[in-house]
Amino acid sequence: MPDFSHLNEDGEVRMVDVGEKGVTRRIATAEGCVLMREETLRMITEGNFQKGNVLEVARIAGIQAAKQTFSLIPLCHQLPLDGIGLDFSFPSAGQIVVRSSVSTSARTGVEMEALTAVSITCLTIYDMCKSADKGMQISGIRLLTKSGGRSGEWNAAESHS
């Protein structure tokens, strides 16, 4: 059986004991994409949704989600988050790329917090805009980088797995 940290030697689920690990500065970045009709993106950027400012509501939802990751994903530890950043870019017509960066000084990393922030931000964009564009697609949610801890630096651009 592969070495999965959330399984004990009998294959039973467990929460990893991080008590012996050292506290280090940890940062993770993640991204995801929402694809939509060009008109939908134009409505977002011009502020034409009755529910409010789509991107700012989505940003708040992503920040809240990162802080609640431990309650959403059963085996995640509750972490004292030092910072949560969410940014939006528009690389092509009808595309919003969401990028999160989460940091902590703790015994375990913040990869799940960064991924959760991106996921909920993308879902909130969908929720805010679904009346205008039910065909939106959320894709490409992935970890981009992580630093800190025993495994050190990791970068998706340099990874073959």
Distances (CA, A) of 96 to 55, 56, 121: 10, 13, 11
Can you read off the two tokens belonging to residue 161? 């797995």
If you count them, how many residues does the chain have? Answer: 161
Q: Which residues are catalytic?
A: 127
Q: Return the SS3 of 27.
A: strand
Beta-bridge partners for 124:
none
